[in-house]
Amino acid sequence: MTRHADARTATVNLSASHGMLQVDIIDDGRGVSPVHRAGVGLTSMRERAEELGGSCTLRPRPGGGSVVSAQLPLSGPMPTPQPAEPVAMTAVDSADLPVTTAETTS
């Protein structure tokens, strides 16, 4: 918010209706430039929302500032997780592991 919008304050509104979660982040910063191009952050947020069956937008706030809005389903199909990369495992005989002992003093 400070980095991109130069805003002093922001408000986050959450509401749910008809199976959708509505998230609005409203700031009092410099607003959206008319020639604005979405960067990696906004593009990633939009793509992730769409993967979940929702949407994410950025628009100017009347009177100055910006509004980021996301609509996300509260239920429904979740995206399929990507398979994890295989990890090479080495067999180790527990007899080869170092043994540490601790002595207590009274």
Q: What digits encode the pLDDT tens for the residues 20-60?
A: 999 999 998 877 766 666 677 788 989 999 999 999 998 88
CB 25 within 8 A of CB 10: yes
pTM: 0.62
Beta bridge partners of 55: 71
The domain in which residue 30 lies consists of 2-73
Tokens 């002093």 label which residue?
8
Domain for residue 11, yes or no?
Answer: yes
Give residue 103's pLDDT.
Answer: 60
SS3 of 4, please?
Answer: helix
- Residue 28 maps to which CATH number? 3.30.565.10
